[in-house]
Amino acid sequence: MTVFFQLAYLVGAVLFILGLRGLSDPKTARGGNLRAALGMGIAIIASLLYPLENSHGNFVWIIVALVIGSAIGWISSSKVKMTGMPQLVSIFNGLGGGSAMLLAFVEFLKFNDSGSYSAGLTSLTILFTLLVGSISFSGSILAYLKLDGKIKDKHVTLPKHTIVNLLLLVVTIGTVGYAMFNPSMMSLVIATVISLIYGFSFVAPIGGADMPVVISLLNSVTGISAATAGFLYNNQIMILGGILVGASGTILTVLMCRAMNRSLMNVLIGGFSATGVAAAGTSTDQGSVQPTQPIDVAILLNYSEKVIMVPGYGMAVAQAQKQAKELDEILTKKGVDVYYGIHPVAGRMPGHMNVLLAEVDISYDKLLDLDDCNSELGDTDIVLVVGANDVVNPAALDDPSSSIYGMPVMEVWRAKKVIVFKRSMKPGYAGIQNPLFFKENTNMLFGDAGKTLKDIINEIKTLD
């Protein structure tokens, strides 16, 4: 019987890996997600049934919890809009860390009450799970609240917050170490509370264009907590699943840090720029912008040879991906080459823009990463910046006083013409002004991106 359950775990593990592989391409992402879900289903059933003698008649509680949790997850996922996806990912991720925290808390008490407690590998594993689970839980919940606009950075950020985080990290490790060598309910509660406070404080100063990185990092932390929880129960599928999530999240975090030209240490100490911090060199008056109208943009597009569209969070807000797809098809029929420049941290979570465009079946072959896009911009007739802001800000390259200085950006100003779709002149998520708006080859097209794109499409049709 044991062999049967071990085989079930093996099948689940293989499905996890195949699912993760499928997520690397929009064409196979849906199938990959379903394979991973099937693997998780098999793992859950196998863990419930093996070994049966340890069930202690708790199946009623377990099934009720499964039904409630499944219903909440299904309803939340089915109702969430694309603009709310980062928040959903954050809160789901946080609940995973919270589960690991509670498991470690209970196991520590059980281990201590059994009279067999010793400051060894088991206690270290339990407390490490408690530490990372707590950090993931409180950090992810704060990330959710910030992304959803329920909490502003200025309300949770302290002066010299980087130093505060470093000191708090030392205190957190110290309290966890104390709980290990002085086990008691009081020491455990103190270690848990301090860990939760550190997780909150860790995320507090991080904002602006850096939020996708912290989401990725917290995701990897949750994976690590799940893996260590697996060691507590000698559950191979928990260990493997946690390692896969932790490893992939860590790799993604490192790649995104490189894309932003920042070190991983900046993330760990909360040293990224906070939302709302205006750069000294970009907050002054830089002249007037040049507004344009849909008919003017339609004429320019009609006689272009190459067009690159750079989507951002504003496209998700306006749900303008359908109009972008329609414009793409019209221009392609006219012989115009249409591509999409995707910045690694565009949107509010890793891969946000890729998912947005895949939603309307835009070919993955048309998507250009940061380097490929920049190499194409020199001979591009028109760039349409749809809802993007910080990822096309030239201050990142030429203004050392800017809070995003050093971050690689889409150098859209090198194209012959730039059209920026915006509702207003309000700064982007990083809270700083964008000198791109005032350049000679830039025109501003104000209004809802979905509506203005539709107006452009209608105007192009009249030019046939």
3-class DSSP state for residue 339? Answer: strand
Which of 211, 222, 206, 253 lies closest to 85 in space, CA to CA? 211
Number of other residues whose CB lies within 10 A of the CB of residue 262: 19
Catalytic residue among 153, 210, 390, 399: 390
Residue in the block written with tokens 């219903």: 71
Q: Do you find a cis peptide bond into 291, omega within 30 degrees of 0?
A: no
Coil vs helix vs strand at 459: helix
Strands 382-386 and 367-368: unpaired
Active site residue 390: yes
Contact 185, 123 (CB under 8 A): no
Question: Do the beta carbons of residue 364 and residue 26 sit within 8 Å?
Answer: yes
Distance CA 156, CA 160 (A): 12
By 3-state DSSP, what share of the chain in percent is helix, strand and coil, each rounded to 5?
65, 5, 30
Tokens of 49: 């049934």
Reduce the DSSP state of residue 118 to 3 states and report it.
coil
Q: Which of 391, 387, 394, 392 is nearest to 281 (CA)?
A: 394
Which SS3 state, helix, strand or coil, does residue 383 take?
A: strand
Biggest CA-to-CA distance, the chain: 84
Distance CA 179, CA 201 (A): 21
Q: Which residues are catalytic?
A: 390
